[in-house]
A and B are shown apart, each in its own frame.
Chain A
Amino acid sequence: EPEVTQTPSHQVTQMGQEVILRCVPISNHLYFYWYRQILGQKVEFLVSFYNNEISEKSEIFDDQFSVERPDGSNFTLKIRSTKLEDSAMYFCASSEVPQLSGNTIYFGEGSWLTVV
């Protein structure tokens, strides 16, 4: 079964450093998302992306965050200057049709980011 793959599975970084988390969405999917989950907390929406543009973002997704689809297969989340509170599991997700009206989205296994 096709799946969303994410790398790295775990990254430790120093505060202030830049981090890039990578995702390969399911191949025929056109809509891409990033969510995060701080340990013990709920899964939170960060951003949705379609046709090389951000379609929606949350308050969490401030200027230190950016997303990019650098080629036909990868979807990346960049955190420019990491803070301790950025430590979380970051989930990439994709869908064939927009996540509107409840259409199914498929989550990857996550990238665990630890900022020290």
Chain B
Amino acid sequence: SQKIEQNSEALNIQEGKTATLTCNYTNYSPAYLQWYRQDPGRGPVFLLLIRENEKEKRKERLKVTFDTTLKQSLFHITASQPADSATYLCALGGNSGYALNFGKGTSLLVTP
């Protein structure tokens, strides 16, 4: 069955450092992968999209890579700030369906 795995343990880093979050998947050939931010008790907020034929995408302090051979995406936040503290979700989808398949998310805590 399809599986999406994100670091289950919370990631604690110091302000100013780069946070790197991992999303691995198995039994899946997604057409695209998205990253979302979710704050406690709130809905997911879209951050970045990367398609299967793209290796890397950037948006301000965010960078996403997508390796379809390794079946892995890495999500980087450079110059991290305490305001970046949240849970980050990866979500995979295909071209023929409407459903997004989410991972459980990784909690990031950025300390001053």
Contacts and interface: CB of A to CB of B under 8 A. Distances in A.
A90 B32 CA distance: 24
A106 interface: yes
Interface stretch (A14-22, A39-47, A64-72): A39-47
Interface string A74-100: 000000000000000101010000111
Nearest to B98: A48
User: Considering residues A44, A58, A100, which has the most beta carbons from chain B within 10 angstroms of its beta carbon?
Assistant: A100
Interface residues of B, number: 27
Interface of A: 4, 31, 33, 35, 41-45, 48, 55-56, 58, 89, 91, 93, 98-102, 104-110, 112
A44 B43 contact: no
Interface stretch (B14-22, B45-53, B69-77, B78-86): B45-53
